[in-house]
Structure 1
């Protein structure tokens, strides 16, 4: 009797659970149209913003500054400036791994494909690549102690594929991002990809940008700076609904201080995921579903002014669907859709098909049903991913200019808890196999013995760094083991860090005239 009662209870519970599961219904044609809209939107957005990339740092792009767009511009740019499309060929690296090995492809396959690819990389991507090529695999390759660019925008510009293959399934996209996003990022840098990936998934379901950006934020831990920044943008949009520039100024005032990226500390340059995601959301909210307004505003926010409109246009293109992207913005698109993106064997037309096939497989993997006339997807309520934070209690306090070649040894002293040594070993486009052999000594002990390749694709983005020293005075010595005629290891500058509480107290005393 007890067994029968238990069976009946289980069946009733299962029926109630099934009844409570909301299904999102979409036709195959509509799903294909939205996936095409997402990939086409990305391509249009990055092409439009390309000429403005990092030309306006810490400032908006003036209204009177024209941004070109004309029939044939897409094809011309794809053929003559293929390196602009890192937003696409990075995505496609991971798409091609899924295509070769299936949706359960191990993270090592993705990591090796991206690390061994022929394209040039920067920031978190290049730091992650160097780590992988030197035996530090994900997730350690993206962790901030191994990667000074952990909070940079990199996975944010590459996450689109995860959202486009997970329609109505933000948590499924997060699972993909948890694996691939940690190849090169951690903390807020990782959250940039989780959040925008979720925006893509919800753009299949909702026709309201406000709903999309609000619901997607539920995938991000509320205690993170990323969550707080995007929440601020949403709040400021309500406060200043008709003037995106006021929200931009609020973001600049509160969120523009980058403490991580060595190129953005003590500089107006900002490639931090948090700020650039804010610009994406500004474009989406103030664009109000208008494709032209969205890409214009996301571009005119400045900084990474090609990647941000690419993300915004990809999300909006998914919401609208390919057919409803205005004809003006698809000028010349047809003649560009069969061009393989450089470093890949995939064109837009190919990824339209491949992306649709991957989405169907992913839907079935997560309990959905794919029919000839109707696709049913269990509609997921967004859940926050785990909390993680980069550069905990790390704060920049000084920049030391060096600007000299390291011929044999170089020493410096500082008071604090960490340092980053920047420099240049590699030359653009160089594939020379030579590598410098460097010893780094801290307080008389060997901290690391590393290779510094002169090849641009395999270079180490920074010379060396350490964040978690005990607070106090430290001596650092760099020793070049193999100086060789014809090669130069140039040291450019050194960043000094200390605990944030100490720095804040010093600043307070300075303002009070006590220092």
Structure 2
């Protein structure tokens, strides 16, 4: 009986081994694809840079020229280095892996990015502030601590996770779970998981539709992110030759933002869902053509530099560096030795480092490296856990304030949550940076003491937020504890939230703390 049992185990082992799929390619071919991914990102962000958030809620028509010429890449990298957050953010995490290995703790990544010299925005900046104030990941990215949890941030930084995990979407998801929650949660995290998976699958297939459909298997079907990307695929099948019809269909259903305070009740949208949809739209309608992909993705508008960077990074990985059209690599060679600002890493550096990390990851996950031959144990995409930001949280009103606080400011609202948008700043550029200390009282109770740095790099992106208040009427008092003649604390506007969307025709709208009855 024992012999039969042992024989059965051996047979099962052979069957399991036979079911494992290996992708074998030369080290040179692998390197070419990794180079294509990094170069594609750089080309895409450079091309879309002039259009970034200049066209919100509208298409950039074909008659609007977008510059591209020999020397433009080098000129932009030198004169506008801040444009390349898509790259130097990735490189922060690449550098930590290079220094501390594949198992570098999330604290190392979090502290490196929080203390880096570059400016940040949205989820990244909120995450930075949290870390500098001892709210560490994953709480630093959680929507209760980060009003920008669903924003695009990790989506534009996930490229390294995919490029170091060729053919291994689940391995990329594990990396994204650790690092993506530094600044994002829910749909914001899913943006990085999905695009990271697209990168991994671009090593294994030249079929864009296959890459996208397989990558989407990593995302829970009940999530809004999944539904949005599924809509892109659906509309692409309905309108295979007209990307603008798909764009308008997406705009109608997915353009409302409930999280990011800068995007609520405005055309501005930096939400991961919609901007990921533009990446997928460009890839599908581009049909593997680099020019069509970069043009369409950019002309979708909104984050029109990050989106073509992601699309061209994925396509560049699929094609490989050697097959990116010469037109788009014009002037690239002279830019490849320039260190990205705030780093000591150039494109040529990361081409090599990226290959090194990929080979390490391949061997760690069942693959083999022998001389010039690389065998990758290809993974079937597995769904990650379900997360939902801003559950039962709906923006219902906006209070316009634009007031410089001298001592205190009060207002009333009715709902279950509130975000106070404000900023601390110097009146004169030569004034020293300080921290303005504030207190927030709701219904007579001190709810939070808040530090508001005037230094832009360490600023708090919003003055205050809370999405878990008892439903009903509330009074808020904002107190400035240390007024300064050289500095201002400005309250811009206030977003009011409730546990149900505003659907009634007869609504109470509050302006500057005074109720006003709006009749149908």
| TM-score, normalized by the shorter chain, greater than 0.5 | yes
Indicate the residue corresponding to 1:361 in structure 2: 360
Please identify, of 16-25 and 92-101, the stretch whose mean Cα deviation from structure 2 is larger: 16-25
Q: Distance in 2 between matches of 1:330 and 1:358?
A: 25
Displacement of 1:394 in angstroms is 0.5
Cα separation, 1, equivalents of 2:192 and 2:368: 27
* Structure 1 residue 508: Cα displacement: 9.3
Secondary structure of 1:109's aligned partner: helix
Q: Deviations over 1:406-426 (max 9, x none)?
A: 111111111000000001213
- 1:16 and 1:330 mapped to 2: Cα distance? 46
Distance 1:426 1:19 in 2: 63
Q: Which residue of 1 aligns with 2:514?
A: none
Whether contact under 8 Å (2:165, 2:172) holds in the other structure is yes
Alignment-derived partner of residue 513 in structure 2: none
Structure 2 unaligned blocks of 5 or more: 509-517
CA distance in 1, matches of 2:16, 2:120: 47
**For 1:222-241, what aligned pairs fall within 5 Å after superposition?**
222-241=221-240
Q: Residues 214-363 of structure 1: matches in 2 within 5 Å?
A: 214-363=213-362
Q: Deviations over 1:475-497 (max 9, x none)?
A: 11111111122111001110100
Correspondences of 1:356-505 after superposition (within 5 Å)? 356-426=355-425, 432-500=432-500, 503-504=502-503
1:432 deviates by: 4.5
After superposition, the C-alpha distances for 1:346-375 in whole angstroms (9 at most, x for unaligned) are: 000000000000000001111110111321
1:406·1:489 contact (CA, 8 Å) conserved in 2? yes
Relative to structure 1, the CA distance from residue 357 to residue 432 in structure 2 (aligned partners, 3 Å threshold; closer, same or farther) is farther
TM-aligned CA deviation for residue 9 of structure 1: 2.9
Q: Relative to structure 1, is the Cα distance of residues 346 and 6 closer, same or farther in structure 2, using a 3 angstrom cutoff? A: same
CA–CA separation in structure 2 for the residues paired with 1:366 and 1:5 = 31
Q: Please tell me whether the aligned partners of residues 165 and 356 of structure 1 are also in contact (alpha carbons under 8 angstroms).
A: yes
Aligned-residue offset at 1:11: 2.2
Unmatched runs of 5 consecutive residues or more in structure 1? none
For residues 222 and 514 of structure 1, the distance between their equivalents in structure 2, rounded to whole angstroms, comes to 40
User: Which aligned pairs between 1:167-178 and structure 2 lie closer than 5 A?
Assistant: 167-178=166-177
Please report the TM-score for the alignment, with normalisation by the length of structure 2.
0.96
Cα distance change, pair 319–439 in 1 and its aligned pair in 2 (3 A) = same
SS at match of 1:489: strand
CA distance in 2: counterparts of 1:429 and 1:124, whole angstroms: 26
Deviation at 1:8, TM superposition (A): 2.9
Deviations 1:3-60 (A, max 9, x none): x444333322222111111111111111000000000000000000000000000000
1:329 partner SS: coil
**CA–CA separation in structure 2 for the residues paired with 1:404 and 1:15:** 72
Alpha-carbon distance between aligned partners in 2 of 1:348 and 1:294, rounded to the nearest angstrom: 22
Residue 514 (structure 1) shift: 8.9
Would you say the 8 A contact 2:423–2:452 is kept in 1? Answer: no
Partners of 1:431 and 1:168 lie apart in 2 by 53
Structure 1 residue runs of 4+, over 4 Å off? 427-433, 507-510
| Structure 1 partner of 2:69 | 70
- 2:100 corresponds to which residue? 101
Contact kept, 8 Å, 2:443 with 2:476, in 1: the verdict is yes
For 2:342 and 2:497, the matched residues in 1 are separated by: 38
1:327 aligned counterpart, secondary structure: coil
CA RMSD of aligned residues (A): 1.6
Q: Deviations over 1:250-307 (max 9, x none)?
A: 0000000001000000100000000000000111000111101100000000000000
Indicate yes or no: 2:56 matched with 1:57. yes
CA contact (8 A) 1:53 1:305 kept: yes
Name the structure 1 match of 2:515.
none
Q: CA deviation at 1:507?
A: 5.1
Superposition pairs of residues 203-218 of structure 1, within 5 angstroms? 203-218=202-217
Distance 1:426 1:9, change over 3 A: farther
Alpha-carbon distance in 2 for matches of 1:299, 1:229: 19
Q: Distance in 2 between matches of 1:269 and 1:202?
A: 31
Change in CA separation of 1:324 and 1:435 when aligned onto 2, cut-off 3 Å: same
2:420–2:491 Cα contact (<8 Å) kept: yes
1:355-399: CA deviation from partner (whole Å, max 9, x where unpaired):
000000001111110111321111111011100011100001111
Question: In the alignment, is the contact (CA less than 8 A) between 2:425 and 2:487 conserved in 1?
Answer: no
